[in-house]
Amino acid sequence: MGDPLRPYVPTNETPDEKRKRVNLEKQAKKRSEAIDKQLKAEREEREKQKMAKLLLLGSSESGKTTVLKQLKIIHGRGLSDERQRYRRIVHLNVLTAIKALAHALVTFGYPLKPENQQHLDRIVNLATIKNTLNRNSITVQAAIRNQQLDDNSIDLFVENMNSVVALWSDPAIKKCYNSASEIGLQDSAKYFLDNVGRFGKDDYLPTDEDILQARIRTVGVAEHKFEIADVIYKIYDVGGHRSQRHFWAPYFDDVNAIIFMAAISAFDQTLEDSDINRMDDSIQLFEEICNNPLMINTHIILFLNKIDILKQKLEYVSVKDYFSEYQGDNKFQSVTKFFQRKFLARNHNEEKHIYVHFTHATDTKQMRVIVASVNDIVQRMNLKASGLI
């Protein structure tokens, strides 16, 4: 019995019959190769639809890292593996906050309770956090990543905890806190200072909320993978500080969408290294990204973040004092619509879709709904790009 996979070749075929047979075999081979190529393309397209590449962009302190933490909680393995590492970061956040307030108190000259003067002196004379912890003066983030902080940050926190508690309870320091935007105080300062006692316990490990509130500057570019509704997402988080923005361009290629984050609560703040208004900086950066020739057809998902802080701030800060063109009332709905219009007006391409979400990135319940919405948007983009809708 012959090999069933080999084509049948007549033993008595004529030269003409052989030519016809060979031509038919070549045509069949071409058809087979074309079908294989089509099947491969369809398979690659299906795989592509199951993978999405997103860029997470925005100014520093806009909440990008917090969104990534939420993704780990909602669609990753949670934050359990990071608790011990974040214990150090929480302690650093506390010391950074009280040091900023202590310097502000000295600058403003507010009267302090006499019994707290020794605590003020102790905090004011505390060397910068970086120099105290790192003899080589590397960044705090790098030190934490490379496990070079060991227990120094914990010891430093314990040594100064009583001074932190005493100063935070003093009315003069609370008065300085009301000028948070003027002294560059981090948004989560009150959260950390209110919980100092809990952070000082020997068996303390950060909760999810502690980790979500913790702040540390992103340096360079980090890639994260998440599976959301059977879709693999590659999300690239890049540093938002102005000195880090030159890292962004190489990641613009083959991007499904950009998540651009802006802290809508920062309308009364300036950048730490200049007098530029943080909101103006975000709007200008958004315009540059939105109209970049490499991203001209890339849709953008705009997160106007920190609405919780905005609501609190509007009770005592007037938007008109910082944006003279604003003519509305100082209520949340009016203010958010105003800033939304300012961002959208910077888009020069009418074909580009910009999806806007007002976000509270530390609120896991809200972020769960928004992440589901983002997944739906990205999948519609993929289907449209492939001509299926």
Annotated binding residues for GTP: 61-66, 187-188, 212-218, 305-308, 361
Angle, helices 15-49 vs 364-385, to 10°: value is 160
DSSP code at position 126: S
SS3 assignment for 159-228: HHHHHHHHHHCCHHHHHHHCCHHHHCCCCCHHHHHHCHHHHCCCCCCCCHHHHHHCCCCCCCEEEEEEEE
Contact, 113 vs 172, CB < 8 A?
A: yes
| 8 Å CB contact between 94 and 193 | yes
Which residue positions form the known binding site? 61-66, 187-188, 212-218, 305-308, 361
Neighbours of 99 (CB within 10 A): 18
Alpha carbon distance 213, 347 (integer Å): 32
Please work out, in degrees rounded to the nearest 5, the angle formed at the alpha carbon of residue 223 by the alpha carbons of 218 and 225.
130
Look at residues 379, 374, 380 and name the one whose alpha carbon lies nearest to residue 75. Answer: 374
Tell me the binding residues for Mg(2+): 65, 218
> In the structure encoding, which two tokens stand for residue 88, read together?
């150090």
- Tell me the two tokens of residue 11: 């033993």
Give kind and range of the element (H or E) at residue 342: helix 332-344
